[in-house]
Structure 1
Amino acid sequence: MDRPGKWDTETAGDALAVLEDLALWIVTPGRWERIDGLLARMQDALSTGDPAGLAGIVAQLELCAPSRITPIGADGARGIPEPVLERQNRLVHALTPDRGADRPDGPRTGAGRGDQPAR
């Protein structure tokens, strides 16, 4: 997949926001299948360098978000399935390849003893 430098900040930010949110969603198995299909399309858009396609997929993912009102008979809603979580994680990492180095909880160097990281 292409590096995020190829993507404008707004598109990449919107994609990351929906990817991070969906890990917390509680939806039906049918909706998880739709989300997984959209994530596969997102991977394709990233691989082919299609920013318009990526933006459209982000919009479709946002529409898959759970509503505040649970419809009567909406049994079976559950958290993110493992295969969908794995795909979501790959996409987040593809959009943020250098993120760990800039985060406060990322790698630390310089203040530790020898080969031990700083605390």
Structure 2
Amino acid sequence: MEDDVRDDALDLLAEVLVWRLAGDRWRAVERALDGLAAAGGDTDAFREVLHDLELAGPARAVRIEDVAVLPVPEPVRERINQLVHTLEGPGRAEDDPE
């Protein structure tokens, strides 16, 4: 994977950890995390899913029914941490249990 794509992913994953979103938006984040993990070394697929993750983020205008926003759920935090370890070094991915 290209270094700039990896760096963009690491930056975005760090941002996700401080997002506050409605529950349905967290499900979109989970789907994007699944896609990032599945993309593997396919840089184009990884970029596309990274874009989807960015779109799942907080909106500037919040609908009245979305006022109950939540911090990152623990399972999502764990998935992000696993992805970060995988992206930071080739040997570290083998150390993480599934």
Give TM class, smaller chain.
0.7 to 0.9
Q: Which aligned segments of 4 or more residues in structure 1 are displaced greater than 3 angstroms?
A: none
Aligned partner letter, 1:90 = Q
TM-score for both structures, normalised by structure 1: 0.71
- CA deviation string 1:43-84 (max 9, x = no partner): 0112xx211010001111111110233222213210000111
1:55-70 aligned at under 5 Å gives the runs 55-70=47-62
Match of 1:51 among 43, 48, 65: 43
1:1-119 aligned at under 5 Å gives the runs 7-46=1-40, 49-97=41-89
Percent identity between the aligned chains? 31
Higher strand share: 2
TM-score for both structures, normalised by structure 2: 0.85
Higher helix share: 2
- CA deviation string 1:81-107 (max 9, x = no partner): 011110000000101128xxxxxxxxx
What is the CA distance between 1:29 and its match in structure 2?
0.7
Unaligned segments of structure 1, at least 5 residues: 1-6, 99-119
**Matched residue count:** 90
Unaligned segments of structure 2, at least 5 residues: 91-98
Residues in 2 aligned to 1:83 and 1:76: alpha-carbon distance in whole angstroms: 19
What is the CA distance between 1:10 and its match in structure 2?
1.2
Residues in 1 aligned to 2:49 and 2:12: alpha-carbon distance in whole angstroms: 10
